[in-house]
Every structure is written in structure tokens, then in C-alpha cells.
């Protein structure tokens, strides 16, 4: 195998800019076909992005012998079915977060991998963005000494652009999303903590549901203890006043601290009473670096940038923090 020929299952908003065009820009990567249940929208996407084939039937992707990898960008409720079908067909899978509706489904996907010739990478693309590569570098070089604890605060109002609220918004329908905005955004945060600090030992969480749906978390308070004894404290509030909006993570070490936001472009290092700010610009298609690494992994040229086991750990942590009974 010298080329990765992709089919996209679910060419919606995420695929439009963040990921879709990158499949045609990365070396040894070709986008062959896109699928969406609305055929006119699939055709429109294909025409605008110069994709040769489009369809409204997922079977056309899964049964296409020219396609050896699929990008699954549908809502989480269909991740299990599409992942299993693709892996059983021997195709590689690049899977959007969250991995599935819950940890039980994520475990099923992980189990099937052992009997498939296909590989799977989770689309936790922030691992490869320049700001978070810098954070990882600062941690790996012990720039702030031994890590003691981490403090995360995510306070978003209902008017925030990326927390769009609508009656038909699948992100606040737990039977489709797994939970509320917490299940949509917290995987970014938790995955990076796993990437930075390794395996998780204990998780404790408290939640407050929305008035509209007891299964949708409005506020989540969480404590995570990593196996290396690093402690993490997180607060997610998706009904904050606009004046209180916040997106901040601080990593505290014995010799200083590292501060950054998940939707920002700066990393601030403070030690010895001196502060240094690193500024970055993300690529136009933010998933492009992750997709490039994934293509290399599928071709056997590099290691997996985000494993199914990592995706499963994220799902287990989401379930424990939010108190979900099915995990």
C-alpha cells in the first residue's frame, strides 16, 4: 500500500473546513468519495471540493474496493456501527470524537481491532496543533520542574458561537451525542491531559443537569488522579454569564506554571518570576497535521498518533465524571 484513498462518512460542518480539504493536501492521501444522507448536500460538497464521487448510501463507501480508509464524521450514535463495518471490511478508520455514545461501545470498537487488518486513529487533532506541541515540549523538558497539579476552567455562555443552541441540535440530544456540550467539548480537554500525563487511576465527578433534560450536563466538576500521582481539577459550565466566560488551563510545577486555552493561540510560561509568551497560528484546516500523521501510520511509516485505547480512556473518564450508568 503506497497511497491512502479515503471515503468520508458524514461530510457535514466539521468536514467542511476543519478536516475535509486536508485529505487532498496531505502527501500520499486522496479523497475518493463522500457520503451524506442528503444526496444533494453530498453532491454539493463533492463539487465544491473536487471530490470525484458522492453518495447518500454508506454501502457505496464500505463496498468500494478503491477506498482503503474511511473518515467517520457522523454524530456519535452511529460511530459504533460504522466503525465495526469498516474494520470488518479491512479498511482503516479515522474516527471523530467522542469515540462512541459511551465506554461500552468504545470497548466494542477496541475489541474488534484485534481481529481486523484495519487500523484506527482517533481524531483528537489538538495533539498536533502548534500550541499544544509547545506545551508537550515544555513538559518533556521539565521547564517547570515536577508537575504537581492541573486546574482547568471552561465557562461558556449559551451565546458562544461554538456552543450553538437550537431545538434540533444533536449535541444536546443524549441519545445521539452521549450527553450534552460536555460530551462534545470535554473530549478535547481530557484527551490532551492523557497525552500529557499518561494513564488515569481514579476519577470523581459531580454534575448539575439542565432544566430541559436530566441526562444533559450543564455543570460538571471533576477530579482526576493520574497513575504518576499528578492531580487534575476541572470545571465545565455551559450556562455561564457572558461576563464570566473563561477557557483556561494552568499546569503547576515545582518551579513555575504553564497557562493556555484550548481555543486560543498562546502559551504562557512563568518561572523564576519571569513570564514568556509563545504565540502560534493554526493551519487553515486544523486537522491537517493529525491527518498527515495518521496517513503515515496507516502506511506503516510512523506510530499511531492517538490510539483506540486512548479514545476508550476518554470515554471511560467522561462517563465517570458525568455519572453515566452505562459505561
CATH number at residue 16: 3.40.50.720
Assigned domain for 305 exists = no
Q: Are residues 92 and 152 in the same domain?
A: no
Which of 248, 266, 281 is where one domain is finished?
A: 281
**Last residue of one domain, picked from the residues 97, 124, 151:** 124
Reported as type and span, the H/E element at residue 267 is strand 266-271
Q: What is the pLDDT of residue 212?
A: 63
How far is 48 from 54, CA to CA, in rounded Å? 12
> Rounded to whole angstroms, how far apart are CA atoms 315 and 107?
9
Q: Is 238 within a domain?
A: yes
* Cα-based torsion angle of the residue sequence 128, 129, 131, 135 in order, rounded to the nearest 10 degrees: -10
* Angstrom distance (rounded) from CA 122 to CA 99: 7
Inter-residue contact 143 to 256 (CB < 8 Å): yes
Residues 24, 116, single domain; the answer is: yes
Residue 322 lies in a domain: no
Q: Both 195 and 54 in a single domain?
A: no
Are the CB atoms for 178 and 318 separated by under 8 Å?
Answer: yes
| Helical residues (DSSP H) of 141-228, grouped into ranges | 174-177, 181-197
C-alpha separations of 213 from 216, 236, 250, 277 in Å: 6, 17, 32, 41
Q: Do 208 and 148 sit in the same domain of this protein?
A: yes
Query: Are 49 and 166 found together in one domain?
Result: no
pTM of the model: 0.94
Q: Is residue 295 part of a domain?
A: no
Counted domains in the chain: 2
Report how far residue 192's alpha carbon sits from residue 185's, in angstroms, rounded to the nearest whole number: 12
Long-range contacts of 264-270 (CB under 8 A, 24+ apart): 264/131, 265/131, 266/131, 267/131, 267/134, 267/135, 267/138, 269/138, 269/143, 269/144
273 and 135, same structural domain? yes
DSSP assigned state of 96: P
Residue 304 lies in a domain: no
Cβ contact 122:109 at 8 Å: no
Q: Which residues of the chain have pLDDT under 70?
A: 159-168, 212-214, 325-327
Domain assignment of residue 176, yes or no: yes
Name which of 31, 39, 103 is nearest 66 in CA terms.
Answer: 31
Going by their DSSP bridges, the two strands 246-253 and 147-155 should be labelled as antiparallel
The grid coordinates listed for 31 are 479523497
Residue 129: partners with Cβ closer than 8 Å, 6 or more residues away: 280, 282, 286, 289
Neighbouring residues of 115: CB distance < 8 A, sequence distance ≥ 6: none
Q: Are residues 156 and 202 in the same domain?
A: yes
Write out the residue range of the structural domain in which residue 88 sits. Answer: 4-124
User: Does one domain contain both 217 and 176?
Assistant: yes
Do 120 and 181 lie in one domain? The reply is no
Residue 210 confidence (pLDDT):
73
Q: For residue 238, what is the DSSP state? A: S
106 and 139 assigned to the same domain? no
Residue where one domain finishes, among candidates 262, 281, 300: 281
CATH code, domain carrying 138? 3.30.360.10
Are both 257 and 277 inside the same structural domain? yes
In-domain check, residue 78: yes
Q: Tens of pLDDT along 60-112? A: 999 999 999 999 999 999 999 999 999 999 999 999 999 999 999 999 999 99
CA nearest neighbour of 147 among 204, 232, 261, 234: 232
Give residue 327's pLDDT.
47
pLDDT value for 163: 45
Cβ proximity of 203 and 320 under 8 Å:
yes
The predicted pLDDT at position 161 comes to 39
Separation CA 66–CA 48 (nearest Å): 22
The answer to the question of residue 313 being in a domain is no
The set of cell numbers assigned to 6 is: 479515503
Domain co-membership, 167 together with 270: yes
Amino acid at each position: 500500500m503506497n497511497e491512502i484513498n479515503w471515503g468520508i462518512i458524514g461530510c457535514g460542518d466539521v468536514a467542511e473546513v476543519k478536516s475535509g480539504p486536508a485529505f487532498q493536501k496531505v502527501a500520499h492521501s486522496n479523497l475518493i468519495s463522500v457520503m451524506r444522507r442528503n444526496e444533494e448536500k453530498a453532491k454539493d460538497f463533492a463539487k465544491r471540493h473536487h471530490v470525484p464521487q458522492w453518495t447518500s448510501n454508506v454501502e457505496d463507501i464500505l463496498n468500494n474496493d478503491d477506498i482503503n480508509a474511511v473518515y467517520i464524521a457522523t454524530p456519535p450514535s452511529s460511530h459504533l456501527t460504522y466503525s465495526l463495518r469498516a474494520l470488518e471490511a479491512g479498511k482503516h478508520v479515522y474516527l471523530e470524537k467522542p469515540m462512541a455514545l459511551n465506554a461500552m461501545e468504545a470497548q466494542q470498537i477496541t475489541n474488534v481491532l484485534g481481529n481486523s487488518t484495519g487500523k484506527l486513529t482517533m481524531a483528537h487533532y489538538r495533539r498536533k496543533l502548534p500550541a499544544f506541541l509547545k506545551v508537550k515540549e515544555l513538559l518533556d523538558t521539565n521547564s517547570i520542574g515536577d508537575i504537581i497539579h492541573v486546574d482547568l476552567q471552561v465557562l461558556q455562555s449559551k451565546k458562544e458561537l461554538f456552543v450553538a443552541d437550537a431545538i434540533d441540535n444533536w449535541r444536546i440530544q443524549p441519545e445521539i451525542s452521549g450527553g450534552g456540550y460536555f460530551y462534545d467539548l470535554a473530549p478535547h480537554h481530557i484527551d490532551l491531559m492523557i497525552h500529557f500525563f499518561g494513564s488515569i487511576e481514579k476519577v470523581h465527578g459531580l454534575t448539575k443537569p439542565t432544566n430541559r433534560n436530566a441526562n444533559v450536563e450543564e455543570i460538571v466538576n471533576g477530579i482526576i488522579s493520574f497513575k504518576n500521582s499528578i492531580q487534575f481539577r476541572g470545571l465545565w459550565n455551559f450556562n455561564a454569564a457572558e461576563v464570566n466566560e473563561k477557557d483556561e488551563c494552568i499546569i503547576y510545577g515545582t518551579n513555575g506554571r504553564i497557562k493556555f486555552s484550548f481555543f486560543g493561540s498562546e502559551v504562557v510560561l512563568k518561572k523564576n518570576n519571569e513570564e514568556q509568551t509563545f504565540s502560534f497560528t493554526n493551519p487553515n484546516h486544523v486537522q491537517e497535521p493529525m491527518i498527515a500523521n495518521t496517513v503515515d501510520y496507516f502506511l506503516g511509516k510512523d506510530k499511531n498518533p492517538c490510539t483506540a485505547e486512548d479514545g476508550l480512556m476518554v470515554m471511560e473518564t467522561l462517563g465517570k465524571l458525568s455519572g453515566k450508568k452505562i459505561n
